[in-house]
Amino acid sequence: MKSRVISFIKRAAAVALFAPAMAMAAGAVLHLDKAPVSTDPAALQHGAKLFVNYCLNCHGASFLRYNRLQDIGLSEAAIRDNLMFTGEKTGDQMKVAMSRAEAKQWFGAAPPDLTLVARARASEFGSGADWLYTYLRQFHRDPNRPTGWNNLVFPNVGMPNVLWELQGEQVAKAGEHGSTLELVKPGKLSPEEYDKAVADLVSYIVWMGEPVAEKRKVIGMYVLAFLAGLFVLALALKKNYWKDIH
């Protein structure tokens, strides 16, 4: 009996170990474009403007406060005058007025909070920035969907293309190696300008997930330099302590 239990545990462990790889192999390979993520303040400020104007109507960023945007070079007055429209205080969280119950009734599901979406997608796809950058550029018209929109990266997604005025309208064309997109109605931006706008938006969303990331990296370098210096001192002390023995 004991040997059977041990054998069962081994088989269960093997299944748990290889199940994710088997599931990935069974599904279609998802190609993600490399996101040109930037930490440049101008890019982050442009991304913040796009986020507030196009995303914050439905999606909140409740783990971030408006005044945190001062970290990307915006003054409190600029935040209040250009990025706040409903009388909130700059110390308030970036929430939406729509309740989750209303959102679920209107859209079928409540739009998720986007503060940590890049990090969440990173755990699923390896790079949350790449997923977001590709997703926001793969919307196309689909008359069979309730919103009139679909997405090649996230098929049958409930979200419409909120950036369609900037991007224009695309249609999906079935091909030998999968579907491709064709721009049939230009938007306010050229394809190159739209890609740059999406890159700025994604850069901002990535920044929201960890506003102190750049500071953390700098502090990490100082810590490593300190430890390297401490190692040299410790090695010199060790040699001096054991010099009469060695």
Which of 10-14, 42-46, 193-197 has the least mean pLDDT?
Answer: 10-14
CATH architecture of structural domain 33-211: Orthogonal Bundle (1.10)
What is this structure's pTM? 0.76
Assess contact for 114 and 59: CB atoms under 8 A. yes
Assess contact for 95 and 86: CB atoms under 8 A. no
pLDDT at 17: 35
Q: Which of 122, 130, 67, 131 is nearest to 94 (CA)?
A: 67
Largest CA distance in the chain: 86
pLDDT band at 139 (very low <50, low <70, confident <90, very high): very high
The full set of domain ranges for the chain reads: 33-211
pLDDT band at 28 (very low <50, low <70, confident <90, very high): low
Evaluate if residue 89 carries a pLDDT over 80: yes
The total of other beta-carbon atoms located within 10 Å of residue 60's CB is: 21
Q: How far apart are CA 134 and CA 117, in angstroms?
A: 14
Structure tokens at 188: 């306010």
